[in-house]
Chains A and B, each alone.
Chain A
Amino acid sequence: MGNSSSMLTQYDIEEVQQHCNNAFSQQEILSLYDRFCQLDRNGGGFISAEEFLSVPEFAVNPLSQRLLRMLDGLNFKEFVAFLSAFSPRATLQQKIEFIFKVYDSDCNAKVTFNDMLDVLHDLTGQFISEQQREEEGCNFQIPYWNLESVYNLLSLDFDEICHNRSDKAFC
Chain B
Amino acid sequence: MSGSEGKLSSSSSELDLDRPNIEDYLPSGSSIHEPRGKLRLRDLLDISPTLTEAAGAIVDDSFTRCFKSNPPEPWNWNVYLFPLWCFGVAVRYLILFPARVIVLIIGWIIFLSSFIPVHFLLKGHDKLRKKMEVFVANHTSMIDFIILEQMTAFAVIMQKHPGWVGLLQSTILESVGCIWFNRSEAKDREIVTKKLREHVQGVDNNPLLIFPEGTCVNNQYSVMFKKAWLLVFWKAGAFELGCTVCPVAIKYNKIFVDAFWNSRKQSFTMHLLQLMTSWAVVCDVWYLEPQNLKPGETPIEFAERVRDIISVRAGLKKVPWDGYLKYSRPSPKHRERKQQSFAESVLQRLEEK
Contact = CB atoms under 8 A, between A and B. Distances in A.
A130 to B, nearest CB: 13
A30 B6 CA distance: 8
17 contacts: A24-B8, A25-B6, A55-B57, A55-B58, A56-B325, A60-B334, A60-B338, A62-B339, A86-B59, A123-B50, A123-B343, A124-B340, A124-B342, A126-B336, A128-B343, A153-B42, A167-B33
B61 A55 contact: yes
Interface in B50-67: 50-64
Given A56-B61, A127-B343, A61 B9 contact: no
A170 B30 contact: no
Contacts of A67: 51, 54
B9 A124 contact: no
Given A55-B58, A150-B45, A153-B45, A169 B338 contact: no
A28 B51 contact: no
B50 A62 contact: yes
Contacts of A59: 329-330, 335
A63 B57 CA distance: 12
Given A55-B61, A123-B47, A126-B339, 20 more contacts: A28-B6, A30-B1, A34-B5, A53-B329, A56-B63, A56-B325, A57-B56, A57-B62, A58-B58, A60-B330, A60-B338, A61-B54, A62-B30, A63-B47, A125-B336, A125-B340, A125-B343, A140-B44, A150-B45, A167-B15
A38 B60 CA distance: 10
B347 A128 contact: yes
A61 B335 contact: yes
Interface string B7-39: 111111101000000000000001001110001
Interface of B: 1, 5-13, 15, 30, 33-35, 39-42, 44-64, 68, 321, 325, 329-330, 334-336, 338-340, 342-344, 346-347, 350
B195 to A, nearest CB: 30
Contact of A61 (B1, B57, B340, B347): B57
- Secondary structure at the B interface, as helix, strand, loop or mixed, is helix
Contacts, number: 174
A9 to B, nearest CB: 14
Contacts of B5: 31, 34-35
A58 B57 contact: yes
A12 to B, nearest CB: 14
A169 B10 contact: yes
Nearest to A29: B6
B42 A157 contact: yes
Given A67-B54, A99-B47, A125 B335 contact: yes
Interface string A58-76: 1111111001000100000
Nearest to B4: A31
B50 A99 contact: no
A32 interface: yes
